Amino acid sequence: MKTAFIFLFFLSTAVSLTAQNNWVFKKERDGIKIYNRHSDISRFNDIKVEMDLVGTIYQLAAILLDVERYPQWAYGTKSCVLVKRISNREIIYYSEIEVPWPATNRDFYASFKVIFDSAARSLKVISAGIRNYQPEKKNLVRIPLSNGLWNVSTISDKKIHLQYILQLDPGGSVPGWVLNLFSAKGPLETFGNLKKKMELLNK
């Protein structure tokens, strides 16, 4: 019963993230393209990132599953802790996101599942925030909505194409300049750092 619930949880997240298109191009830097669209379930626009990376789907999966190293490359991540390992490809983790003063830091729990398609040489990663996994912490704002979908395809033996879609509501009162960190600067910095990590692995 629990396995069926988890499957439906991930399935509903993936369907929600791919249910509509209508993407609007916003900016590009170093081959990283940022788009957004109106969200049906959040106060804030959905975000899409597209880029090519050197390396393989297996190298990328290894980086994404190593959540405790996220502070080294994921923009604004103050801490990230593995909470539960369900399998080699499915985990639950906790993260605190640092937001410049006077705004309040955010936190969230999320389930994270990696799905390989060896025949198609592709990778799908589904991340879904679990708002009430543990009680909210004092002096932190719990992020009420955070769903991510990674669709990764193989271009060649040494190159992959990545598409990432994020539905996010940072929660609480959000000044415009803070929202910009989540919607523009954050993705550019994060995926720029990810690009560098993959390049280092493939020198």
83-110 residue pLDDT tens: 999 999 999 999 999 988 778 999 999 9
Beta bridge partners of 36: 24, 47
133-162 residue pLDDT tens: 999 999 999 999 999 999 999 999 999 999
Q: Which domain holds residue 97?
A: 2-201
Domain count, the chain: 1
- Tokens for 164, please give them: 């990432």
34-49 residue pLDDT tens: 999 998 888 788 999 9
Please name the residue that has the structure tokens 């490359």: 73
CA distance 203 to 198: 9
Longest dimension (CA), the chain: 50
Provide the H-helix boundaries in 20-108: 57-65
Looking up residue 184, the CATH number of its domain turns out to be 3.30.530.20
pTM of the model: 0.87
- Mean pLDDT across the chain: 88
